[in-house]
């Protein structure tokens, strides 16, 4: 079969492979729509070290094409959303207080990106199908379902991690797709005022639709000073970090009130250093909780997000800025994501 | 001064009293708008035993008319929302893990209804003004602020108590003002599907606007059976009880899934008995948590709710079904609340 | 192979069956020590309806005798503790916020008692061995490990469910093995004063060793009045119910302070009715949380409890009041548990 | 009256001041025993900038000598423990989800050290006595009570912040008095294995008595490598930081497992920089929660700790390594704390 991925670092293109093999608990999916993600392009540039001949992609919806002999809940032909994080539920790690993202240790539940071939192919493999596939319910479009498997789950998780209380003032740093879903999540989980940090007009428009109360731009001076000025010197209760650099992260720590939370869902680079003066963190005693988390895994998570779409709490398709028709357009969509055009939020490719 | 209240059980009317005295930490408020509540009418019929010559009312916004010598944060002339629950913050109870409603024990923080004269008067007294008054911020109407001091706080608390997770299916029993705010709260804290139990057309319309996905009516058969049928026999993750009788409560216990929560914000009568077969509660081992809570106290709570209004998360004035102009209309508004006309949700009285 | 169980209601004895079949993810265990439990005897009397020809027992340690083709973490010959609750980790229910006890719904993860043959046999079956077996670590005796698989896990869970805060006053109702472990758990999770309700001298002695501060006896008058008198009329912060009847349960609700928790780990009978006056529960608004939970499932739970034993936090073997040597003594041990002799706490049988 | 404190930076000695004035809600205490703390000596060296003519000390028990006109719960002559953190309960900050340490912002509830004169004097002032004093109960020695007001409260809080689950493996960095109480707290809140980092023999002996399972010394190589080796490369579930430098802190982040917590109760210097490579923190996505908190404030906290002492859960007097008799010994005790002799844990001075 044909897939799209990296031949080696900085060299992407078509890859010919044999169709993946379906174990007794597993399923093989034929994707109908996929979405390239910035972590795919990041990997193609060597972000996780040298990988060769690897099909990329971890966001897909599709049709069940084959099921293992021990799969009970799905049939060939079912139209499913595939969580980007698919834990091995027989690993001890998942029993450890909702650590569904780290089955065997850090990121262990993330099978697609690098561990095995991804979803940008004619077919792809899903482990433990009964626990890791979610049927797309009536009333939810495949496009909306596609947005749930990573962007919505990760962005919402940024808001969940921030343990938003009724009326919290929340800052969201970054208005890429994860930041947008963090804004929507903050609004959906009880925030009062939401201050978004970002400058791109198209994304700002969508951010406002998802609940951002106002915007702050680094082009107009220090983010920190602007936010402190807007909050009478008190700062926000919570900051969700979905973009920015390490200086922004340090400022997020400083601006947060005592008993606040800095919730990170930004993927740092292996060369980055987390660094801030101790007094930014109230000398270690200010009850400012610094958290960083990974997209939760498993089917139940996605089923719940699909229900939120179905019952009208959120329309994640507002993020879809570019649509490509046909498998052959994958390289073009991938390049668009890699270049990050100003009007880009999220591209999708109909297979 | 003049106030409206109960002379004795089942005998309400005007009461003449001297203006309340302002202690050093306290404030005297001149109400501008008040809202009668069903707990006021309940008390007038002897719901809390024989009370005589007592001014009723616990929902008000108004102007600070006098402050005590030790009050720092307010001035005469400030326009404030007054929480219906005003803890004594020097009591040990408030230090006990957010038990702000029960300063000296059960309901201790509820000072207005029965402990002292209420808000339906020319002036009323607020203890510890610095901690128990919230300035109405720019962008929030006094009418909206009035809805926050009990209805919105109590209804939202029903949803908070239910610890709603992203995509939960939530049943809300009752679509009076507390039930409506529980629906809005459920939607604002992350619910997916919200099934409301209620039949009054005007309230159903408002409930739909606040986020109810669908309605179930006791007139069309067993609530329990209807809800189980609509949820493929699984039942809801959470039930918020804001109405109904003890049979409905028992059904709420039965319908809730394992690891679910039954969250009660309904005020039971002293003659009621909580009663259900043990198997409704999975023989005591089904991880179905039965909670019942009281409106949280203090100014910070109300300030947060006012922020949610200010930033457009909720418009609680949709609940205001009847408006009366003038202090002299208090008896009429009170009677309306007592009789509970079919199109009544919440009446307010401009003083 | 030979096993001990119920031929039919009220008729226990030896049962001849074929050795259980080992699926690819499963294991077959040869038990070395088992412990009859009161839920075994309860079932033998028809507590869960008519069962025939069923091997009983759900508390065992033993040797891995056979593993399925897909088992990775265990080998034949490993000495293991077997959780009494062994979820199917591929079921969606386990993904639902730590609901490891209810994989497919209420009690779904409890496979041994009634769903399939139990552990009182030459061999027994464990589903999904990698996720449901725990190696007994060096420094932990098999007898101690045996106490962890149900009694310690369930009793501790009663304390966990009570969310004990540093210095809480805790009442534990019942000093059978679950009550004793609830006492130990309360002490290990931060309680201050622990008031135990119970009368049997041998059990009281062990309860004191596990941390009970004092004892209250129903023989000396109302439990409720005694406890209120001892706590200056305030009552406990938390009550763990591990015994008593429905009247005691109602009293537990009444005695608990606002913002308190009633934590039930008592298995009610299908004929029981939960019932108490609404004012016991502060008319539904006293922030008294009524919880009832089932023993948590899976290997990680047991591994953690074994670590607590290994590092000297608890010695659960103090509960072992009777020891029987030899498989043939199973009927005698079972009868002892059924009759509940005054000096009985927990019998074990070396196979 | 006479007190001991800092004339200016690096110049401590006796200070003559007038007796503090008692406001209507306040109390004046005559201390009977005080304990110098390293934060007192730190301040004397300019740790919080230039202070002049300031009485130091924030750990005391004593006799109520005067009460304000509005104090209801205490009388002259009561023997009380005084929390080192005494919030202004009328400030809005305390209403903000248990932020009792930060009434008006960071550290706002810490009144003694620097904001006003401290406890090392003939008399000292306590704000809002009803809410900030705890009577020493029968069965608790004044010495034990003295240990509760800061060391026990802060150290236990390190364990509370780590949200210890049954059987967690916990590393505690530092075995000074706060570290010792973190060890005791970890054991009391459910830890399994506790690995302490420290080298001083006297403190190690006490640490073992409080529950440390084993010790790791920086003198024997990298702390990180030793701990990873002892935990089969998995690291601890939780790390409580009560000592060490910024390099140790970074190692704490690295060693913690996914879904773990790094809980800091170490007071960093204003010149310190928190700094670690992003991959120590799993590139921001490893669900490793970095927390830092301050001693909780108020009387209820101390009353609960006193109950834990009373009911035998902990004997904090094991930490008292040096006793001085007489007010005049304050300089000697202070110097001992400043020099940190090898056998020093905690000195106390009988006034």
pLDDT tens per residue across span B284-307: 999 999 999 999 999 999 999 999
Question: Residue C309 phi/psi, 5° resolution?
Answer: -70, -50
Q: Which two tokens stand for residue B321?
A: 């079904």
* Cβ count within 10 A of residue C13: 11
Q: What pLDDT is recorded for position C12?
A: 96
User: Judging by DSSP bridges, how do beta strands D170-173 and A124-126 pair with one another?
Assistant: unpaired
Q: Which two tokens stand for residue A116?
A: 């095995």
Write b or e for each residue in A280-295: b if 16 or more Cβ atoms lie within 10 A of its Cβ, otherwise e. Answer: bbbbbbbbbbbbbbbb
Q: Chain B: residue nearest A156 by CA?
A: B166
Q: What pLDDT is recorded for position C48?
A: 79
Residues of C within 8 A of A298 (CB-CB) are 95
Q: Which of A187-201, D89-103, D125-139 has the lowest mean pLDDT?
A: D89-103
Q: Which two tokens stand for residue B348?
A: 């307010």
Question: Residue D65 phi/psi, 5° resolution?
Answer: -105, -25
pLDDT above 80: residue C98: no
What's the mean pLDDT in B249-267?
A: 96
Domain C2-152+295-350 has CATH 3.40.50.2300: no
D217 touches chain A (CB under 8 A): no
Cβ within 8 Å of residue D36, ≥6 positions away: D56, D57, D59, D120, D330, D333, D334, D336, D337, D347, D349
Task: Among C207, C311, C315, pick the best mutation site for testing chain D contact (most D Cβ within 10 A).
Answer: C311
Q: Which two tokens stand for residue B320?
A: 């205001």
- Cα separation values, B192 from B93, C108, D179, Å: 36, 25, 45
Q: Taking Cα atoms as reference points, which of B30, B11, B8, B35 lies closest to residue B19?
A: B30
* A300/C131 touch (CB, cutoff 8 Å), yes or no: no
Q: What pLDDT is recorded for position A101?
A: 92
Residue D110 and residue A197: Cα distance in Å, rounded? 34
Question: Residue B176 phi/psi, 5° resolution?
Answer: -70, -175
Q: What pLDDT is recorded for position A50?
A: 85
Of D166, D304, D306, the CB nearest to C308: D166
- Give the gap in angstroms from C-alpha C309 to the nearest C-alpha of chain A: 19
Residue C278 and residue C283: Cα distance in Å, rounded? 5
Question: Residue A119 phi/psi, 5° resolution?
Answer: -95, -5
* A286/D102 touch (CB, cutoff 8 Å), yes or no: yes
C167 touches chain D (CB under 8 A): yes
Helical segments of chain A, H only = 38-44, 129-132, 142-147, 153-161, 177-188, 201-210, 223-230, 246-255, 299-310, 330-339
Residue C309 and residue A200: Cα distance in Å, rounded? 58
* Cβ count within 10 A of residue A271: 8
pLDDT above 90: residue D227: yes
Of C102, C278, C290, the CB nearest to B268: C278
Q: Which two tokens stand for residue D279?
A: 């991959």
pLDDT tens per residue across span B178-205: 999 999 999 999 999 999 999 999 999 9
Q: Taking Cα atoms as reference points, which of D173, D171, D180 lies closest to residue D243?
A: D173
Name the β-bridge partners of A194. Answer: A170
Task: Among C246, C258, C272, pick the best mutation site for testing chain B contact (most B Cβ within 10 A).
Answer: C258
- Cα separation values, B265 from B71, B152, B182, B249, Å: 33, 12, 9, 11
Cβ within 8 Å of residue D339, ≥6 positions away: none
C104 touches chain B (CB under 8 A): no
Q: Which two tokens stand for residue A181?
A: 């879903």
Q: Which two tokens stand for residue C222?
A: 């109302």
With contact defined as beta carbons under 8 Å apart, do C84 and C295 qualify? yes
With contact defined as beta carbons under 8 Å apart, do A189 and A167 qualify? no
- Pairwise pLDDT comparison (D226 vs B49), residue with the higher score: D226
Q: Chain A: residue nearest D107 by CA?
A: A286
Q: Quote the mean pLDDT of chain B.
A: 96
pLDDT tens per residue across span C227-249: 999 999 999 999 999 999 999 99
pLDDT tens per residue across span B135-170: 999 999 999 999 999 999 999 999 999 999 999 999
Question: Residue D93 phi/psi, 5° resolution?
Answer: -55, -35
Name the β-bridge partners of B49. Answer: B47
Residues 278-337 (C) with a CB less than 8 A from some CB of B: 278-294
Of C190, C304, C307, the CB nearest to D188: C190
Start-to-end CA span in chain D (Å) = 14
- Give the gap in angstroms from C-alpha A299 to the nearest C-alpha of chain B: 13
Could you tell me where in chain B the CATH 3.90.180.10 domains are found? 2-152+295-350
Residues of B within 8 A of C280 (CB-CB) are 274
* A156/B165 touch (CB, cutoff 8 Å), yes or no: no
With contact defined as beta carbons under 8 Å apart, do A104 and A88 qualify? yes
What's the mean pLDDT in D11-18?
A: 97
- How many cross-chain Cβ pairs, B to D, lie less than 8 Å apart? 49
Question: Could you tell me which chains touch chain D, where touching means 3 or more CB pairs under 8 A?
Answer: A, B, C
* Cβ count within 10 A of residue A279: 18
Please enumerate, as own/partner, the contacts of C223-232 that have beta carbons within 8 Å and a separation of 24 or more.
C223/C173, C223/C197, C223/C248, C223/C251, C224/C251, C224/C254, C224/C255, C227/C171, C227/C195, C227/C255, C228/C255, C230/C195, C231/C169
Helical segments of A57-110, H only = none
Residue B19 and residue C249: Cα distance in Å, rounded? 48
What's the mean pLDDT in D198-207?
A: 97
Burial class of residue D210, CB neighbours in 10 A (0-12, 13-18, 19+): buried
With contact defined as beta carbons under 8 Å apart, do C185 and C194 qualify? no
Name the β-bridge partners of C290. Answer: B290, C262
- Give the gap in angstroms from C-alpha B254 to the nearest C-alpha of chain C: 11
- Give the gap in angstroms from C-alpha D327 to the nearest C-alpha of chain B: 33
With contact defined as beta carbons under 8 Å apart, do D167 and D192 qualify? yes
Of C98, C165, C273, the CB nearest to B278: C273
Q: Taking Cα atoms as reference points, which of D15, D82, D42 lies closest to residue D267?
A: D42
- Cα separation values, C144 from B210, C35, C297, C316, Å: 55, 11, 18, 6
Residues of B within 8 A of C259 (CB-CB) are 96-99, 102
Q: What pLDDT is recorded for position D114?
A: 77
What's the mean pLDDT in A125-144?
A: 98
Q: What pLDDT is recorded for position C114?
A: 77
- Map tokens 């949709």 to a residue: B318
Residues of A within 8 A of D278 (CB-CB) are 268-274
pLDDT tens per residue across span A5-53: 999 999 999 999 999 999 999 999 999 999 999 999 999 998 878 899 9
With contact defined as beta carbons under 8 Å apart, do B216 and B195 qualify? yes
pLDDT tens per residue across span B201-227: 999 999 999 999 999 999 999 999 999
Could you tell me where in chain A the CATH 3.40.50.720 domains are found? 155-292
Q: Quote the mean pLDDT of chain C.
A: 96
B128 touches chain D (CB under 8 A): yes
Radius of gyration (C-alpha) of chain D in whole angstroms: 20
pLDDT above 90: residue A98: no
Task: Among B89, B99, B104, pick the best mutation site for testing chain D contact (most D Cβ within 10 A).
Answer: B89
- Map tokens 């925030």 to a residue: A191
Of A97, A271, A276, the CB nearest to D274: A276
- Residues of chain C above pLDDT 70, percent: 100
DSSP letter for B151, please.
I
Task: Among D84, D110, D252, D274, pick the best mutation site for testing chain A contact (most A Cβ within 10 A).
Answer: D274
Of D89, D94, D300, the CB nearest to B96: D300
- Map tokens 């009964």 to a residue: A130
* B192/A304 touch (CB, cutoff 8 Å), yes or no: yes
Q: What pLDDT is recorded for position C341?
A: 86
- Sign of the C-alpha dihedral computed for residues A124, A125, A129 and A132 taken in this order: negative
pLDDT above 90: residue C47: no
Q: Taking Cα atoms as reference points, which of D313, D267, D273 lies closest to residue D294?
A: D267
Residue C166 and residue D301: Cα distance in Å, rounded? 8
pLDDT tens per residue across span A67-83: 999 999 999 999 999 99
Q: Taking Cα atoms as reference points, which of A189, A178, A166, A168 lies closest to residue A238?
A: A168
With contact defined as beta carbons under 8 Å apart, do C274 and B278 qualify? yes
With contact defined as beta carbons under 8 Å apart, do B2 and B16 qualify? yes
Residues of C within 8 A of B288 (CB-CB) are 292
Start-to-end CA span in chain B (Å) = 14
- How many cross-chain Cβ pairs, A to D, lie less than 8 Å apart? 155
Of A189, A192, A213, the CB nearest to B190: A189
DSSP A17-30: -PPPP--TT-EEEE
Q: Taking Cα atoms as reference points, which of B110, B122, B132, B119 lies closest to residue B65?
A: B122
pLDDT above 90: residue B342: no
- Give the gap in angstroms from C-alpha D95 to the nearest C-alpha of chain B: 6
pLDDT above 80: residue C97: no
The distance of Cα C12 from the centroid of its chain, to the nearest Å, equals 22
The DSSP H or E segment spanning C203 is: helix C201-210
Task: Among A139, A163, A169, A192, pick the best mutation site for testing chain B contact (most B Cβ within 10 A).
Answer: A192
Residue range D155-292, CATH number: 3.40.50.720
pLDDT band of residue C99 (cuts 50, 70, 90) is confident
Q: Taking Cα atoms as reference points, which of C118, C133, C17, C117 lies closest to residue C65?
A: C133
pLDDT above 80: residue B114: no
- Map tokens 């003198």 to a residue: D219
Task: Among A134, A157, A158, A166, pick the best mutation site for testing chain B contact (most B Cβ within 10 A).
Answer: A166
Residues of A within 8 A of C88 (CB-CB) are none
Q: What pLDDT is recorded for position B27?
A: 98
Residue C175 and residue C172: Cα distance in Å, rounded? 8
* B102/C259 touch (CB, cutoff 8 Å), yes or no: yes
- Give the gap in angstroms from C-alpha D95 to the nearest C-alpha of chain C: 16
With contact defined as beta carbons under 8 Å apart, do C7 and C52 qualify? yes
């Amino acid at each position: 079969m044909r897939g799209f991925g990296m031949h080696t670092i900085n060299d992407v293109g078509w890859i010919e492979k044999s169709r993946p093999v379906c174990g007794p608990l597993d399923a093989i999916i034929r994707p109908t729509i996929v979405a390239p993600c910035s972590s795919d392009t990041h990997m193609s540039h060597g972000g996780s070290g040298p990988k060769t001949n690897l099909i990329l992609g971890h966001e897909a919806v599709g049709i069940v094409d084959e099921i293992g002999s021990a799969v009970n809940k799905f049939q060939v032909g079912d139209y499913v959303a595939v969580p980007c994080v698919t834990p091995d539920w027989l690993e001890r790690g998942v029993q450890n207080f909702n650590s569904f993202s780290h089955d065997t240790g850090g990121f262990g539940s993330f099978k697609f990106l690098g561990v095995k071939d991804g979803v940008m192919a004619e077919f792809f493999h899903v482990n433990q199908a009964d626990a890791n596939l979610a049927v797309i319910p009536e009333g939810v479009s495949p496009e909306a379902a596609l947005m749930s498997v990573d962007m919505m789950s990760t962005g919402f998780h940024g808001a969940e991690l921030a343990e938003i209380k009724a009326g919290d003032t929340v800052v969201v740093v970054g208005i890429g797709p994860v930041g947008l879903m963090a804004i929507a999540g903050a609004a959906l989980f009880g925030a009062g005022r939401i201050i978004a940090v970002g400058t791109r007009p198209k994304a700002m428009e969508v951010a406002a639709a998802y609940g951002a109360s106002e915007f702050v731009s680094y082009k107009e001076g220090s983010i920190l000073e602007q936010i402190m000025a807007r909050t009478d010197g008190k700062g926000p209760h919570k900051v969700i970090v979905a973009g920015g650099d390490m200086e922004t992260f340090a400022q997020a720590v400083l601006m947060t009130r005592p008993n606040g939370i800095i919730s990170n869902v930004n993927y740092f680079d292996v060369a980055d250093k987390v660094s801030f003066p101790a007094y930014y963190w109230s000398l270690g005693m200010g009850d400012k909780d610094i958290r960083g988390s990974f997209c939760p895994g498993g089917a139940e998570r996605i089923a719940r997000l699909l229900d939120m779409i179905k019952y009208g709490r959120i329309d994640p398709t507002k993020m879809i800025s570019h649509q490509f028709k046909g498998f052959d357009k994958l390289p073009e969509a991938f390049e668009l994501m890699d270049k990050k055009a100003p009007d880009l939020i999220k591209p999708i490719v109909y297979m």
